[in-house]
């Protein structure tokens, strides 16, 4: 499922126009993104939790040449599925 499929599913389920559903989906994604930018955990009970994790700088190897490279520190987003979601897909 891609974003357009999600918008179509929301529009059909809620009986609103696809344009309005697109606004709603974009607003939800924007709210999640904004919270994660501020390093605030987003917890959707029954669905899951989005959180940021800081990765430390490390050393790695270029698989093609074998040369050692520096991997810079970064921030990653992690998602942990909630019990209801896990039970639904099992």
DSSP 8-class letter at 45: T
- 70 Cβ neighbours under 8 A, 6+ residues apart: 57, 58, 59, 60
End-to-end CA distance of the chain: 19
Same domain? 59 vs 27: no
Query: Which pLDDT tens digit goes with each residue over 44-84?
Result: 999 999 999 999 999 999 999 999 999 999 999 999 999 99
| Residues 78 and 88 both lie in one domain | yes
What pLDDT is recorded for position 9?
97
86 and 48 in a common domain: yes
Cα separation, 12 vs 55, whole angstroms:
40
What does pTM read for this prediction? 0.80
Q: Please give the torsion angle defined by the CA atoms of residues 26, 30, 31 and 32, in that order, rounded to the nearest 10 degrees.
A: 110
Query: For residue 5, what pLDDT band results from cuts at 50, 70 and 90?
Result: very high
User: Residue 32's domain spans which residues?
Assistant: 1-39
């Amino acid at each position: 499922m891609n974003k357009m499929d999600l918008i179509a599913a929301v529009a059909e389920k809620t009986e609103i126009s696809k344009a309005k559903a697109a606004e709603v989906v974009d607003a939800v994604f924007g709210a999640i993104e904004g919270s994660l930018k501020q390093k605030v955990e987003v917890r959707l009970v029954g669905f899951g939790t989005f959180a940021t994790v800081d990765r430390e700088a490390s050393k790695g190897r270029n698989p093609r040449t074998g040369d050692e490279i520096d991997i810079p520190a970064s921030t990653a987003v992690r998602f942990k599925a909630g019990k209801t979601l896990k039970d639904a897909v099992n």
